[in-house]
């Protein structure tokens, strides 16, 4: 079965396990680095996750290896700027519990509970983890591939999943959203244009009149074009939305802020070609109540106003400084 390809891939971790047993922990030890805007991160997190799944599914009985990996994972949970719990900690907790006779590792489990806010709220040493790889269905295996960043195997499994479900154009919205996520992860973004368009067409064809769903459909398609660098198509759908939607229905929807952001990005990229769009968006920005403003809307609005050589940029900059000061944010 095609799922066996993932099982084989996980089996390749035996080399990492043997290296660890030989004293080489370089691939799985905590390796701190600064990850751009995210802050403190661990370069070996995914490697440790892969090895944890190997120990789980191959049913490796090795207390020393599990305890070592658990301690290394704790360093990440305690220092990672993103915090979180993560599958690695859950798997290693399940494995380490087997060796906790006489409460040998209770101190480590408590340390995990205290590692960060997310762990304090959601980590539970009693949570069970499924050890039988065979109980994973095809979709489970795809998500496992994504989690372990096995793109080569994931692509094969996604193709098999698509083939088993027929033409994606006939799928329900939930399945299309799932495929969109897979395609984005696999760098198959060109396939997503038709899927986003189909999502929007279905929302509009139902005639449900749900403003939030319509705004979300436009938002996703426009965001796709901007991420692909196709600002012309993005601008076209911005105009369609602004010309067809009842502003009275959508102004109070949080998602409309995303549309304003996207329009500002388009204007900032090509102010000369989008003067009309800037005129519309400027009116919308001016109509926004103070409580509706937030960081990204300020910064993107300022960038658009500057690109359009509009004095409105100065007013936005002053408002943004006040907004940051009220929240105790540094300049």
Q: Which residue has the tokens 């995914």?
A: 46
Four-residue CA torsion sign, 5, 7, 10, 14: negative
Interval 28-70: pLDDT, tens: 999 999 988 789 999 999 999 999 999 999 999 999 999 999 9
pLDDT range class, residue 245, cuts 50, 70, 90: low
| pTM, full prediction | 0.86
CA angle 104, 42, 150 (to 5 degrees): 100
Give the residue with greater pLDDT, 242 vs 178. Answer: 178
Interval 99-136: pLDDT, tens: 999 999 999 999 999 999 999 999 999 999 999 999 99
CA angle 54, 57, 60 (to 5 degrees): 70
Q: For the chain, where are the alpha helices, taking DSSP H only?
A: 4-11, 14-21, 45-57, 63-79, 86-97, 106-113, 117-122, 138-148, 151-165, 173-185, 192-206, 211-227, 231-244, 247-250, 254-269, 275-287, 295-307, 312-326
Q: What is the pLDDT of residue 73?
A: 98
Closest to 29 in 3D by CA, of 69, 85, 81, 79: 69
Cα–Cα distance, 55 to 11 (Å, whole number): 10
Q: What is the pLDDT of residue 123?
A: 97
């Amino acid at each position: 079965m095609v799922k066996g390809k993932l099982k084989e891939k996980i089996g390749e971790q035996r080399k990492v396990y043997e290296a660890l047993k030989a004293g080489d922990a370089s691939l799985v030890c905590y390796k701190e680095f600064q990850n751009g805007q995210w802050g403190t991160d661990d370069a070996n997190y995914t490697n440790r996750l892969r090895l944890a799944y190997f120990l789980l599914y191959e049913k490796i009985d090795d207390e020393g290896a599990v305890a070592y990996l658990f301690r290394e994972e704790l360093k990440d949970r305690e220092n990672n700027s993103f915090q979180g719990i993560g599958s690695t900690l859950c798997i290693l907790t399940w494995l380490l519990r087997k060796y906790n006779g006489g409460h040998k590792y209770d101190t480590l489990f408590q340390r995990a509970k205290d590692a960060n806010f997310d762990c304090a709220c959601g980590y539970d040493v009693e949570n069970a983890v499924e050890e039988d790889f065979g109980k994973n269905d095809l979709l489970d295996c795809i998500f496992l591939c994504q989690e372990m960043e096995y793109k080569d195997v994931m692509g094969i499994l996604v193709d098999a999943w698509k083939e088993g479900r027929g033409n994606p154009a006939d799928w329900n919205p939930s399945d299309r959203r799932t495929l969109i996520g897979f395609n984005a992860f696999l760098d198959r973004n060109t396939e997503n244009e038709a899927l986003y368009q189909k999502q929007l067409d279905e929302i509009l064809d139902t005639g449900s009149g749900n403003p939030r769903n319509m705004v979300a459909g436009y938002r996703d398609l426009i965001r796709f074009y901007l991420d692909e660098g196709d600002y012309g198509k993005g601008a076209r759908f911005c105009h369609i939305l602004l010309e067809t939607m009842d502003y009275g229905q959508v102004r109070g929807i949080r998602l409309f802020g995303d549309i304003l952001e996207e329009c500002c990005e388009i204007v900032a990229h090509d102010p000369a070609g989008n003067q009309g769009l800037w005129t519309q968006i400027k009116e919308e920005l001016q109509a926004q109540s103070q409580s509706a403003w937030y960081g990204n809307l300020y910064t993107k609005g300022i960038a658009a106003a500057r690109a359009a050589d509009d004095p409105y940029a100065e007013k936005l900059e002053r408002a943004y400084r006040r907004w940051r000061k009220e929240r105790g944010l540094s300049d």
